[in-house]
Amino acid sequence: MAETLLQDVKSDRLLVQIASYNTNLQGVLGLPQDLVDWLAPTLQVANFLSRERRAPDIVAVGFQELLPLHLGLSGFSKSVINDRNALILSQIEQHAPNKERYSLIAKVVNVGVALLVYGRDDGVARRVVDVETQWTGCGPAYLGNKGAVGVRFRIPGPEGSIGESYTFVNCHLTAHDHKLAQRLADYRHIVKTLLFDPISPTSKTPSTIYDTSNLFLLGDLNFRLDIPKTHPLALLRKLPEFSEAIASESTRAELKEFDQLTIEKRKRNIFIGLREGDFWKFKCSYKYKLGKVDEYSLKRAPAWTDRVLYTTHSDSPDSPQSSHITNLLYTSIPSYTTSDHKPVVSILLLPPPKQTTPSEKLPVLHLPDDYTPTPDPTANIKRYTGRILDRTIGIFWWLFTLLGAGSGLLGLFNLFVGYGAWAWWRTKPSHTPDV
């Protein structure tokens, strides 16, 4: 087994690093200045396989709740995402084992959901073509407080062959234990409205996230634990004893059977065709006390809300638990304490790219016969309706916050008081001196 992996790591199989972090609406304060705890372990993970460190070919980093909501809705995310880009790029190059250089392939942000994808300069970055970015909102009235962003590109094969396409999707779905149905609806909406260009030059129909050779989905998916009331841990979900219990991997292996995502995926209600590594090997990524490395908040029951899923075109719909993608690493990073979430990271070793001729079509994912995702013909109407509402609500909220020196409620109160004073001044009787 080790010898096989050794050969694979040295072969033409791409190494993909995926990282996801809900930064709890903190903007530039949401990350420490040094990202080594999050990124460097993944840059070194191949060491135990090949006895020589190998840097990833592709690095995808997703954020949720990137900045305060009123600023995100207002569209004031450019400076924050540019700051993140500069910091991430400097860190992955600083800690690359052989001083590899990277370039940004694409970045996209909608409200607080952001995705940045990088490629190695000595390989992927100089070969990519057909780069696309997309976004969609699935909050109330299609607002972008929840939703997804995506990046797609193609890496051509040798001698002018079409090669393979790669699609990365970062999601933030509806929160709270009891809103499972809304999370399922969110994903269906994302599949129908996060649309890319047609995969065929002769087609005018947009393509869904599934119309790709390789699909990677990450983010704060917000699925919780539905522990039966008869289970010994059911009454302890919001007590310190629960945190102590899930320190054991055997307990977590038992609890994974109550994970909403796992249950609904087995029912084929969501993430059809996607695979996932052993998420229960690390502790629940949510909800932690701010400033604490390993102490859960008692306001919410711990859960694996932050996840990474994937699939490739050679995976069979008849074997939904297996994949030709090798999951080398899947874990959370406890040392980050500025958010109530812990970042998660995964290293994936892709199968060798399919050898195609110049006349062959793009290889795409194989899905069950009874599942055919279709684009929503009103997708753009819904997306831009949400965008207009985003900006309208965000700018008014921002103004109220400005008036309230950082508090939107205080700003609204100040606005009403100010308007009342102005109205009183306008209507008070004028007094003229007697002649």
Per-residue pLDDT of the chain (435 residues), as tens digits, is 444 444 445 568 999 999 999 999 876 666 655 666 676 655 544 343 444 578 899 999 999 999 999 899 999 998 899 999 998 999 889 888 888 999 999 999 999 999 999 999 999 999 999 999 999 999 999 999 999 999 999 999 988 899 999 999 999 999 999 999 999 999 999 999 999 999 988 889 999 999 999 999 999 999 999 999 999 998 888 888 988 999 999 999 999 999 999 999 999 999 999 999 999 999 999 999 999 999 999 889 999 999 999 999 999 999 999 999 999 999 999 988 889 999 999 999 999 998 877 778 999 999 999 999 999 999 999 999 999 999 999 999 888 777 754 555 544 444 443 444 445 556 655 555 554
Helices (H), 51-119: 69-74, 78-95
Measured CA to CA in angstroms, residue 113 lies from 52, 98, 135, 205, 430 at distances of: 35, 32, 9, 26, 55
Structure confidence at residue 147 (pLDDT): 98
Closest to 19 (Cα-Cα) out of 219, 221, 312: 219
- Are the CB atoms for 247 and 163 separated by under 8 Å? no
**CB neighbour list of residue 374: distance below 8 Å, 6 or more residues apart:** 192, 208
**CB neighbour list of residue 78: distance below 8 Å, 6 or more residues apart:** none
DSSP notation for 103-147? EEEEEEEETTEEEEEEEETTTGGGT-EEEEEEEEE-SGGG-TTSE
Q: Which residue has 């696309």 as its token pair?
A: 132
CA–CA gap between residue 77 and residue 82 (Å, rounded):
9
Q: Which residue has 């509806």 as its token pair?
A: 174
Q: Which amino acid, 103?
A: S
Question: Any idea how long the chain is?
Answer: 435
DSSP assignment letter at 196: B
Please give the model's pTM, rounded to 2 decimal places.
0.89
Helices (H), 300-430: 379-403, 408-427
Closest to 179 (Cα-Cα) out of 257, 252, 260: 260
Structure confidence at residue 98 (pLDDT): 86
Q: Is 419 exposed, middle or buried (0-12, 13-18, 19+ CB in 10 A)?
A: exposed
DSSP lists the bridge partners of residue 15 as 349
- Which part of the chain has CATH 3.60.10.10? 2-377
Topology of the domain comprising 2-377: Deoxyribonuclease I; Chain A (3.60.10)
- Are the CB atoms for 92 and 137 separated by under 8 Å? no
**CB neighbour list of residue 154: distance below 8 Å, 6 or more residues apart:** 128, 129, 130, 162, 163, 164, 165, 166, 362
- Are the CB atoms for 366 and 315 separated by under 8 Å? yes
What are the contacts of 256-263 at 24+ separation with CB within 8 A? 256/280, 258/225, 258/226, 258/227, 258/228, 258/231, 259/223, 259/225, 259/303, 259/304, 260/180, 260/183, 260/223, 260/224, 260/225, 260/226, 261/221, 261/223, 261/304, 261/307, 263/226
Closest to 296 (Cα-Cα) out of 286, 307, 306, 305: 286
